[in-house]
């Protein structure tokens, strides 16, 4: 498939000597929203760090490759990397309070960001962009300083900045998880709108499957450093194959107002280092062979991959 | 279950403001509700609506500015936390920080028993029983809080709240820092506690979907006021207040 | 998969290295303490005995570090002075540590008017340069070891108090203190069993770092003639007495000066190694 925007092949990422992600592969087409979901410590944020590739973040790519629009960006130099960040890869972090300087106006900070990417800052264009995103008081927004804004508005300003820079690929790392539910919904709707109008591609990392189900086209479920299931969102949610995905879905409070069902224990910290399946200690279907059978993501149904099919109801 | 004439907890017109005069900021205004024995009241609101302050007021950790609070008809407004701790125990969101990092979980629990129940003879058996009731290995109680996972510590802190057999638990966002699987585990154990012991609870949360699975009544708070209160069915199926509708609309269920 | 021998992670190895450092410096410091305590019993000569025949003799086998202006053996005086200098320092650090921690914890935990009052008082003390204040106090009280300690102690407790206060204020706001209040704990009980154990670590680190500075202050006051009364041997006073004939008998200055330098350095190394270990554990 030549027309993939982002291809991640067999990616293994380490922090120091410690493996965080093993053998993750997936591909994204232009205009797609891909969600990677999983619980804390599953390596989903590390995945974003690997794509951003900033050395200071500590993530080190040991094996595999990351291909953006046909170009291998796995081992780019600092200067080349700087050129693609922002203009080709945009990034919305979890905590935008920390990524804007709290006591300088958005105006100054927008200018700075644009200038560092050799782009001209045009106030009229910025305000047009705010209008398109339905921001209230769009003509006054630039004069504000981040501390005067709510967390949700701040997050939306970060998205607007990313829009102005016009990247091909947006990376969102838990971009809505610190927000209140009402602002979360606004941000989600904005992102979906941007995809529809501008043909954005978004890689969205979240622990909230509810959020994923509202915007994603494809869904990947990660567990202890491995991708255990990947496929079209409807296929994964309607017919979850991996035992972990089913457990995860059962743990979410649903519309039926029935008490959610939990999952005892926690993921193994060194799960990415294991040879066999690392869900074994918490799995009700596991057999002895699971402990030794090497991890492999298989295409079970066309467009729907999983590393295990135990206990699947057909 | 004992049924009393007076409700277990009654809150009458309480208000709380910080600062004085013009600079003063009112965070809670004129709150009223009653809670019967064995009932679970969910309190839903977005950040800054004053829901955590409300728990601090009920448990006397902070003084009220105005109004009355009654426990089984007895006015306890203005008392010290030491007075009400026999009735209420608070479970905090950040459960690891709710344990003294320099003490094992068992030591912290023993302290509760010693101060509240006064006898230590039976303490280890009681602690083991509660830890078991929360579905945890009793050996885990001899560890330090940072050696347990978030979900485990939170279950330990519920166990600690229960060792002294209070009438009521006040839960402050107890699952919001946890993963969904750990959250669901906690909800299950809390549900069993309700069935076995008829525990009364105030369950503060921002998650309407979660509350609707568990609470008998839900109060919606906005800017220091309760805008709507009703059973989950009333709130979820026929919301009256605009804000409730807004919140309900923002709940992202898995489709 | 788990192997038989647990592999240590990098941070663990780093911690073991830091721990080893603390132990090494700890042993060195303990040796100095023991040496200075028992030294007066093994003196080659009487440190106070003057000898007109042996004035300003260069180091030799009889007098390893030479003799001073009055023919007193420099080595003997050095060893006798070690006890005065080091033990005065340790005592002073312990006392100001204790006073500062108690005051700081109480202020930090309760806050309010008491806290304001005490902290403004420390502000006043700190607004005058420490050494100038100490000189003034020592000048008023007159020269003696105890008076020197009082003069320095008047300001030195404030740094402990400030540190303890800031830690107590932080700990006071943690949920577990609220949890304790809800078990009916008294404030005294909370302070003793919950607040103090949680701040004693950084306080001890600070104390070990302060040993060197305190020793210098004592030596400095003695050098200015405000410390121990002559002829009692004390390192700072020894430097002061001998500097008049520096060209004639440099050893009489260099010996106590290097002793001060070496001891302060060793205590600082010890303090820093403890500090490094503590911060690596926190991370």
Task: Kindly list the residues from chain B whose CB atom is less than 8 angstroms away from the CB atom of residue C179.
Answer: 90, 92, 98-99, 157, 160
Tokens describing residue C129: 């340069």
**Residues of the domain holding B72:** 1-87+167-177+200-255
B50-54, C2-6, C188-192: segment of lowest average pLDDT? C2-6
CA distance A278 to A123: 52
CA distances from A88 to A66, A169, B40, C181 (A): 14, 6, 51, 54
Q: Do B85 and C197 touch (CB under 8 A)?
A: no
The residue among B117, B146, B166 that closes a domain is: B166
Chains in touch with C (3+ beta-carbon pairs under 8 Å) read A, B
Q: Do B184 and A263 touch (CB under 8 A)?
A: yes
Interface of C with B (CB under 8 A): 174-176, 178-186, 193-194, 197-198
CA distance B236 to B252: 13
> Which residue in the block uniquely carries the two structure tokens 């690997």?
A50
CA distance A8 to C108: 53
B61 and B104 housed in the same domain: no
Task: Kindly list the residues from chain C whose CB atom is less than 8 angstroms away from the CB atom of residue A16.
Answer: 9-10
Q: Do B181 and A185 touch (CB under 8 A)?
A: no
Across chain B, mean pLDDT equals 87
| pLDDT value at residue B69 | 92
Reduced to 3 states, what is the DSSP secondary structure of residue B231? coil
- Identify the closest residue of chain A to B232 by CA–CA distance: A257
Report if residue B9 sits inside a domain.
yes
Cross-strand pairs, B15: B66
Report if residue B133 sits inside a domain.
yes
Domain count, chain B: 2
Q: State how far Cα C261 lies from the chain centre.
A: 14
Of A218, A2, B107, the closest CA to residue C176 belongs to B107
Task: Using a pLDDT cut of 90, give the percent of chain C over it.
Answer: 21
pLDDT in tens, C241-268: 888 888 888 888 899 999 989 998 998 8
B171 and B157 housed in the same domain: no
CA distance C115 to C108: 7
B173 and B245 housed in the same domain: yes
Of C199, C114, C1, the closest CA to residue A291 belongs to C1
pLDDT in tens, B56-70: 899 888 888 889 999
Across A45-54, B133-142, B225-234, C34-43, which has the greatest mean pLDDT? B225-234
Report if residue B188 sits inside a domain.
no
B144: distance to nearest CA of chain C, Å?
14
Chains in touch with B (3+ beta-carbon pairs under 8 Å) read A, C
pLDDT band at C1 (very low <50, low <70, confident <90, very high): very low
B31 and B52 housed in the same domain: yes
Q: Do A262 and B181 touch (CB under 8 A)?
A: yes
A116: distance to nearest CA of chain B, Å?
35
CA distances from B62 to B56, B79, B222, C181 (A): 6, 10, 20, 11
- Identify the closest residue of chain A to C2 by CA–CA distance: A274
Query: DSSP letters of A116-174?
Result: HTT----HHHHHHHHHHTT-TTTTTGGGS-GGGS-HHHHHHHHHHHHHHH--SEEEEES
B244 and B148 housed in the same domain: no
Cross-strand pairs, B230: B218
B65 and B99 housed in the same domain: no
Task: Kindly list the residues from chain B whose CB atom is less than 8 angstroms away from the CB atom of residue C184.
Answer: 81-82, 85-86, 115-116
Per-residue pLDDT of chain A (314 residues; tens, 9 = 90+): 457 899 999 899 888 778 888 889 999 999 899 999 988 888 888 888 888 887 777 778 888 889 988 888 888 888 888 888 878 888 888 776 667 887 888 888 888 888 888 788 888 888 888 887 778 888 888 888 888 887 778 888 888 888 888 888 889 888 888 788 888 888 888 888 888 888 889 999 998 899 999 999 999 999 988 999 999 999 999 999 999 999 999 999 888 888 888 888 778 877 788 888 888 888 888 888 888 888 888 888 888 999 888 877 76
Report if residue B192 sits inside a domain.
no
- Identify the closest residue of chain C to B163 by CA–CA distance: C183
Task: Using a pLDDT cut of 90, give the percent of chain B over it.
Answer: 29
CA distance C224 to A181: 69
B239 and B126 housed in the same domain: no
pLDDT exceeds cutoff 90 at C120? yes
Reduced to 3 states, what is the DSSP secondary structure of residue B129? helix
B49 and B126 housed in the same domain: no
Task: Using a pLDDT cut of 70, give the percent of chain B over it.
Answer: 96
B:C CB pairs within 8 Å = 58
Q: Give C232's DSSP letter.
A: S
- CB-nearest to B100 from C176, C182, C184 is C176
pLDDT exceeds cutoff 70 at B48? yes
| pLDDT value at residue B1 | 46
Burial letters for C91-122: b for 16+ Cβ neighbours within 10 Å, e otherwise? ebbeebbebbbbbbbbbbbeeeeebeebbeeb
pLDDT exceeds cutoff 50 at B54? yes
Listed in order, strand segments (DSSP E) in chain B are 9-18, 25-35, 40-44, 66-71, 74-75, 88-91, 168-172, 200-205, 217-222, 225-230
Report if residue B185 sits inside a domain.
no
The average pLDDT across B185-201 equals 89
Burial of A13 (C-beta count, 10 Å sphere; 0-12/13-18/19+) = buried
Is the C-alpha dihedral spanning C143, C145, C146, C151 positive or negative?
positive
B46 and B172 housed in the same domain: yes
**Which of the pair, B134 or C168, is modelled with greater confidence?**
C168
Task: Kindly list the residues from chain B whose CB atom is less than 8 angstroms away from the CB atom of residue A250.
Answer: 184
Report if residue B195 sits inside a domain.
no
Q: Give C142's DSSP letter.
A: -
CA distance A216 to A191: 10
Domains of chain C, by residue range, sit at 10-42+73-282
B156 and B171 housed in the same domain: no
Question: Is C10-42+73-282 CATH 3.40.50.720?
Answer: no
| pLDDT value at residue B5 | 67
Please, which residues have CB within 8 angstroms of residue A251's CB and are 6 or more apart in sequence?
Answer: A260, A261, A262, A263, B180, B181, B183, B184
B98: distance to nearest CA of chain C, Å?
4
Of C27, C23, C20, C40, the closest CA to residue C83 belongs to C40
- Asked whether C197 and B107 are in contact (CB, 8 A), the reply is no
pLDDT exceeds cutoff 80 at B44? yes
**Which of the pair, A98 or B230, is modelled with greater confidence?**
B230
Of C33, C14, C10, the closest CA to residue C270 belongs to C33
| pLDDT value at residue A1 | 46
pTM reported for the whole predicted model: 0.79
Task: Kindly list the residues from chain A whose CB atom is less than 8 angstroms away from the CB atom of residue B154.
Answer: none
pLDDT exceeds cutoff 90 at C96? yes
The average pLDDT across B154-180 equals 88
Q: Do C1 and A275 touch (CB under 8 A)?
A: yes
Interface residue of B180, B189, B234 to substitute, partner A, most A CBs within 10 Å: B180
pLDDT band at C181 (very low <50, low <70, confident <90, very high): confident
pLDDT exceeds cutoff 60 at C207? yes
Answer whether A136 touches C (CB < 8 Å).
Answer: no
B146 and B63 housed in the same domain: no
- CB-nearest to C10 from A16, A273, A274 is A16
Using alpha carbons only, give the angle B141, B143, B145 rounded to the nearest 5 degrees: 95
- Asked whether B33 and B226 are in contact (CB, 8 A), the reply is yes
B4 and B124 housed in the same domain: no
pLDDT exceeds cutoff 80 at B2? no
**Which of the pair, C117 or C279, is modelled with greater confidence?**
C117
- Identify the closest residue of chain C to A291 by CA–CA distance: C1
Residue A188 has phi, psi (to 5 degrees) of -60, -45
| pLDDT value at residue C191 | 92
> Which residue in the block uniquely carries the two structure tokens 């086998």?
C61
CA distance A129 to A123: 10
CA atoms within 13 A on the CB side of A98: 6
Report if residue B191 sits inside a domain.
no
């Amino acid at each position: 498939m030549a027309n993939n925007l982002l291809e991640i092949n067999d990616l293994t990422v380490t922090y120091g000597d410690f493996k965080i992600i093993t053998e993750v592969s997936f591909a994204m087409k232009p205009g797609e929203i891909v969600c990677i979901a999983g619980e804390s410590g599953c390596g989903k944020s590390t995945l974003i760090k690997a794509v951003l590739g900033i050395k200071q973040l500590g993530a080190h790519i040991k094996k595999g490759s990351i291909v953006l629009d046909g170009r291998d960006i796995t081992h780019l130099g600092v200067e080349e990397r700087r050129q693609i960040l922002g203009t080709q890869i945009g990034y919305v972090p979890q905590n935008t309070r920390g990524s804007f300087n709290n006591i300088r106006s958005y105006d100054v900070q927008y200018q700075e960001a644009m200038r560092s990417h050799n782009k001209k800052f045009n106030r009229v264009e910025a305000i047009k962009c705010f209008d398109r995103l339905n921001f209230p008081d769009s003509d006054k927004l630039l004069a504000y300083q981040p501390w005067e804004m709510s967390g949700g508005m701040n997050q939306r300003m970060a998205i607007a900045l990313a829009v102005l820079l016009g990247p091909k690929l947006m990376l969102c790392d838990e971009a809505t998880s610190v927000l209140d539910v009402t602002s979360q919904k606004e941000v989600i709707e904005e992102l979906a709108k941007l995809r529809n109008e501008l043909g954005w591609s978004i890689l969205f990392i979240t622990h909230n499957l509810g959020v994923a189900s509202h915007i994603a086209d494809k869904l990947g479920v990660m567990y202890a450093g491995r991708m255990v299931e990947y496929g079209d969102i409807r296929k994964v949610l309607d017919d979850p194959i991996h035992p972990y995905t089913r457990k995860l879905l059962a743990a979410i409070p649903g519309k039926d107002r029935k008490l959610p069902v939990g999952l005892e224990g926690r993921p193994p910290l060194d799960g990415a280092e294991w040879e066999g399946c690392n869900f074994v200690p918490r799995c009700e279907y596991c057999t002895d062979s699971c402990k030794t059978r090497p991890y492999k993501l298989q295409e079970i149904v066309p467009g729907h991959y999983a590393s295990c099919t135990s206990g699947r109801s057909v | 279950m004992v049924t009393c004439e007076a409700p277990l907890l009654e809150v009458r017109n309480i208000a709380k403001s910080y600062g004085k005069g013009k600079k003063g900021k009112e965070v809670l205004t004129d709150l009223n509700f009653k809670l019967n024995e064995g009932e679970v009241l969910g309190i839903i609101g977005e950040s800054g609506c004053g829901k955590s302050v409300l728990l601090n007021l009920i448990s006397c950790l902070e003084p009220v500015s105005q109004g009355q609070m009654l426990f089984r008809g007895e006015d306890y407004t203005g008392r010290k936390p030491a007075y009400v701790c026999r009735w209420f125990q608070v479970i905090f969101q950040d459960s690891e920080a709710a344990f003294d990092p320099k003490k094992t979980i068992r030591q912290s629990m023993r302290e509760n028993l010693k101060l509240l129940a006064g006898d230590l003879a039976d303490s280890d058996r009681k602690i083991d029983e509660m830890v078991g009731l929360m579905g945890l290995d009793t050996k885990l109680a001899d560890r330090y809080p940072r050696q347990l996972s978030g979900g485990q510590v939170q279950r330990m802190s519920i166990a600690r709240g229960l060792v002294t057999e209070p009438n009521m638990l006040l839960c402050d966002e107890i699952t919001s820092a946890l993963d969904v699987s750990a959250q669901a585990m906690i909800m299950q154990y809390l549900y069993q506690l309700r069935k076995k012991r008829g525990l009364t609870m105030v369950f503060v949360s921002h998650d309407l979907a979660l509350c609707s699975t568990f609470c008998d009544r839900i109060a919606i708070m906005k800017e220091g006021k309760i805008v709507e209160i009703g059973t989950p069915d009333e709130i979820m199926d026929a919301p009256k207040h605009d804000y409730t509708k807004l919140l309900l609309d923002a709940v992202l269920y898995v489709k | 998969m788990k192997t038989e021998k647990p592999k240590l992670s990098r941070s663990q190895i780093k911690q073991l290295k830091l721990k080893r450092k603390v132990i090494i410096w700890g042993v060195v410091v303990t040796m100095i303490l023991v040496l200075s305590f028992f030294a007066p019993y093994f003196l080659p000569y009487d440190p106070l005995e003057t000898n007109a025949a042996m004035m300003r003799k260069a180091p030799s086998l009889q007098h390893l570090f030479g003799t001073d202006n009055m023919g007193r053996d420099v080595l003997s005086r050095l060893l006798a002075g070690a006890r005065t200098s080091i033990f005065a320092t340790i005592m002073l650090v312990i006392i100001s540590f204790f006073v500062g921690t108690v005051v700081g914890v109480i202020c930090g935990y309760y806050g309010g008017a008491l806290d304001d009052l005490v902290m403004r008082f420390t502000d006043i003390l700190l607004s005058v340069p420490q050494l100038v204040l100490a000189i003034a106090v020592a000048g008023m009280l007159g020269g003696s070891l105890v008076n020197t300690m009082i003069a320095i102690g008047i300001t030195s407790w404030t740094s402990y108090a400030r540190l303890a206060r800031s830690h107590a204020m932080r700990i006071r706001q943690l949920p577990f203190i609220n949890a304790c209040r809800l078990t009916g704990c008294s404030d005294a009980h909370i302070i003793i069993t919950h607040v103090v154990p949680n701040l004693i670590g950084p306080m001890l680190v600070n104390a070990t770092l302060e040993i060197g500075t305190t020793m210098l202050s004592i030596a400095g006051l003695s050098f200015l003639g405000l410390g121990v009364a002559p002829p009692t041997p004390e390192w700072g006073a020894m430097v002061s007495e001998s500097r008049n004939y520096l060209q004639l008998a440099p050893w009489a200055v260099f010996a106590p000066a290097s002793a001060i330098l070496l001891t302060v350095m060793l205590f600082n190394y010890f303090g820093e190694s403890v500090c490094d270990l503590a911060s690596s554990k926190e991370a």
